[in-house]
Amino acid sequence: MAYLDHAATTPMLPEAIEAMTAQFARAGNASSLHAAGRRARRTVEEARETLAAALGARPSEVVFTSGGTEADNLAVKGLYWSRRAADPARTRVLASPVEHHAVLDAVDWLGEHEGATVEYLPVDTYGRVRPEALREAIERDPDSVALATVMWANNEIGTILPVPELAAVAAEFGVPTHSDAVQAFGQTELDFGTSGLAAMTVSGHKIGGPYGIGALLLGREHSPVPVLHGGGQERHVRSGTLDVPAIAAFAVAGELAARRRADFARDIGALRDELVEAVRAAVPDAVLGGDPEHRLPANAHFSFPGCEGDSLLLLLDAQGIECSTGSACTAGVAQPSHVLLATGSDPELARGTLRFSLGHTTTRADIEAVAKVIGPAVDRARSAGLS
Amino acid sequence: MTENSQRPLRVLAAMSGGVDSAVAAARAAEAGHDVTGVHLALSANPQSFRTGARGCCTIEDSRDARRAADVIGIPFYVWDLAERFREDVVEDFVAEYEAGRTPNPCLRCNEKIKFAALLDKALALGFDAVCTGHYATIVTGPDGARELHRASDMAKDQSYVLGVLDERQLAHAMFPLGDTLTTKDEIRAEAERRGLAVAKKPDSHDICFIADGDTQGFLANRLGKAEGDIVDESGTKVGSHDGAYGFTVGQRKGLRIGHPAADGKPRYVLDISPVDNTVTVGPAASLDVTALTAVKPRWCGTAPTGPGAYTAQLRAHGGETAVTAELRDDTLHVRFAEPVRGVAPGQAIVLYDATRVVGSATIATTERRTRAQALAG
């Protein structure tokens, strides 16, 4: 088996599994005042410090959530509500059109139900938002902007967006910026403190931590209106009993992701380049998606003219190669990728995409396996055509 | 010889999420074939949920099929054929009703979707066969050609809805449930034994794309209201209707005719004329059909030459009736040994030679006994 779908989820690191299982048998609600509670609280706070250090943030800026989706929703909806509450004129939401659905659908929901005017920022053919484009959008009416949200790196095509530059532009106008950095964590340098961001989303299971845990890095001057109301555990912006084992394991994975990032990026980038060369050699007309320069080192995204991505997926799966078409699924039914459509890709071409995402378990043998079968698979998928 | 004893094949199993197709896929895998499951997303609204036994291609069906595939231990995918289904089945269904005919969309789906769009894609991707949970049997004849036969259990036989398959389609079809004399309860027990959670799932009924079962409402929504006359055989107006498409030849209920017939006997729909938007009603005896013509024939093998004696089936759950049939100028001319009732243009007639499916055609015109014959008879 060649597992090349690490952007969907990556296996847990042994160190994270160890940290997690060590917590399972221990009792203790981090909000309790007795000894067991204090012990749990200490684990949580140490994890918070570890993650903060890994991401260039202050510990108090780490708000644990149930994952990336919740963190995105909290940032986008919460900041919209709090900014609008402070000034009812602030109803414009500026977003990149290549966002993950956790942002995209939250933003659209604000448009449909909360009176927001959603404006999608123009992107180039690589999916990058230019700082001047954001400036133009804000300058049209600076006082009406509630927030801007632009992902750090795209989950499908791997393009890295110029987030600190964008955040700097927004900051000139006092507009808070949120960035979904779920895919970027561990692959490119993230420093929340110098990013200029108001909020940044990270997730556990994309970096070798467990599922069901994530965090919103949240500048201390920002108080988004909560999405989840309850016990007020996390700075009163996020309620819910803290998941101590998951938090402990997330912190271990996060620390390793930051510490190993440079080596990982270099090594995995070299393997990725081999994969790209191998695919191009086998299928000369394959189109590499995303920015060739500003891209995640573990991502390779291709469009294969005349192919249905679903067909390719089936054929590669039968050969033991696990990858993704890269686009969102509804009841398992492939939809044309909004990311590719936003970058101006031909809709026909956008149907034949594959995303290979490498990770900490990837070896050269995995790349060789793809090199061996990709040519015949594309030939066969082409004969099945676009149905 | 059935397909189960052949060499291992690469098989694409169409899995609806129901018990039959799950057991069929499991049997194909157990027979040593290399099976991949596919759920067809056919609904325009794949996010819908099931309502009892109704609805199709819901998110629950897709998940049920996915779980079954995992229990069987086969890969599983969802293929979106909703657009093809809409064009070839749903629009055809509406157009047929609009033209005053009574179509069977299940036949159309087998002909155009499962054993065309799906089969073609399967073959192109390197599969040898498409497997479904239909109750029918494939037999390799003396000359090596594949023949479609009724299921071993006549009570469950579904060969009627497969009568549209031609030789090529049949060559790549696999029906693992057809050669077993098992009751539905036993199929459910087999599913249970195999650990398939769909064992207790209710059977689906009615037309899959009309989730609430209200065909008239569906047609009224699609075709709009078109008031017209209901007349008797002499042409006298006896009532009115909201759309001729809402009627089926042989229908008795729901005519809403104010005054009774002269003879006081119930009246039935005899004819639907979309041209003048008129529905003709009359006594039961006038429904007796002695002969018919049918068009667009499809043969499960070579087309018959010259007149021949066959048995015919006219509805999915109808009985058999003896006929003589002859193909002239691509039109099938059929004469019944005994008059039959409830024959509606648009329905399929499937011809059998004993248990073997010979072919099918779409009923175009019917020939009724004259009133004098009816009275004498």
User: Do B48 and B155 fall into the same domain?
Assistant: yes
Reduced to 3 states, what is the DSSP secondary structure of residue A145? strand
Confidence band of B134 (pLDDT split at 50, 70, 90):
very high
Give the residue from B351, B32, B74 showing the smallest Cα distance to B176. Answer: B32
Is B53's pLDDT higher than 50? no
For residues B181 and B331, the model is more confident at: B331
Total of domains in chain B: 3
Q: Is residue B86 part of a domain?
A: yes
**Is the per-residue pLDDT at A206 higher than 60?**
yes
Residue numbers in A near B59 (CB within 8 A) = 331
Find the mean pLDDT for residues A195-205.
Answer: 98
Of the pLDDT bands very low, low, confident and very high (cuts 50, 70, 90), residue B4 is very low
- Give the residue-averaged pLDDT of A18-40: 95
How much is the average pLDDT of A349-378?
96
pLDDT of residue B264: 78
Query: pLDDT digits over A250-309, tens only?
Result: 999 999 999 999 999 999 999 999 999 999 999 999 999 999 999 999 999 999 999 999
B208 is catalytic: yes
**Contact at CB, A385 and B124, closer than 8 angstroms:** yes
pLDDT at A15 over 70: yes
Is residue B212, in this structure, part of any structural domain at all? no
Q: What is the mean pLDDT of chain B?
A: 87
- Give chain A's domains with CATH numbers: 2-8+261-384 (3.90.1150.10), 14-256 (3.40.640.10)
Distance CA A239, CA A92 (A): 27
Contact criterion met (CB below 8 Å) for A71 and A65: yes
Domain presence at residue B180: yes
**B88: domain range?**
3-200
Closest CA to A271 of A184, A354, A194, A366: A366
Give yes or no for a contact between B357 and B166, defined as CB atoms under 8 angstroms apart.
no
Are B51 and B182 contained in the same domain?
yes
Per-residue pLDDT tens over the stretch A217-229: 999 999 999 999 9
| B107-131: b (≥16 Cβ within 10 Å) or e | bbbbbbbbbbbbbbbbbbbbbbbbb
Is B216 among the domain residues?
no
Q: How many residue contacts between A and B have a Cβ separation below 8 Å?
A: 47
Answer with the one of B270, B286, B302 that is the final residue of a domain: B286
Kindly state whether residues B310 and B187 are assigned to the same domain: no
Q: Based on the domain organization, do B96 and B195 belong to the same domain?
A: yes
Phi and psi for B137 in degrees, rounded to 5?
Answer: -120, 140
Is residue B308, in this structure, part of any structural domain at all? yes
From start to end of chain A, where are the E strands? 2-3, 62-65, 92-95, 117-120, 145-149, 177-180, 199-203, 214-218, 287-288, 299-303, 321-322, 329-330, 333-334, 353-357
Q: What is the pLDDT of residue B275?
A: 85
Identify all chain A residues contacting B70, using CB atoms and an 8 Å cutoff.
Answer: none
Contacting residues of A for B79, CB less than 8 Å apart: 310
Q: Please report, in angstroms and rounded to a whole number, the separation of the first and last CA atoms in chain B.
A: 47
What mean pLDDT comes out for the span B281-302?
91
Give pLDDT, residue B201: 85
The tens digit of pLDDT for each residue in A45-62 reads 999 999 999 999 999 999
The pTM for the full model equals: 0.86
3-state secondary structure of A294: coil
Burial class (CB in 10 A: 0-12, 13-18, 19+), B224: exposed
For the segment A310-328, the average pLDDT, to the nearest whole number, is 90
Q: How many CB atoms lie within 10 A of CB A255?
A: 18
The CATH number covering residue B124 comes to 3.40.50.620
In this structure, are B154 and B98 located in the same domain? yes
pLDDT at residue number B45: 62
Complex ipTM: 0.81
Out of B75, B78, B120, closest to residue A333 by CB: B78
Q: How confident is the model at residue B310 (pLDDT cuts 50, 70, 90)?
A: very high
The pLDDT of residue B324: 96
Residues B194 and B50 placed together within one structural domain of the fold:
yes
User: Residue B371: which pLDDT band, with cuts at 50, 70 and 90?
Assistant: low
In the predicted model, is pLDDT for residue A328 greater than 70? no
Contact in structure between B333 and B312 (CB atoms under 8 Å): no
Grade residue B284 by pLDDT with cuts at 50, 70 and 90: confident
Q: What is the sign, positive or negative, of the torsion defined by CA atoms of B181, B186, B192, B196?
A: positive
- Nearest residue of chain B to residue A386 (CA atoms): B121
Handedness of CA B84, B88, B94, B95 (dihedral sign): positive
Active site residue A329: yes
| Gap between the terminal Cα atoms of chain A | 29
Res A122 pLDDT > 70: yes
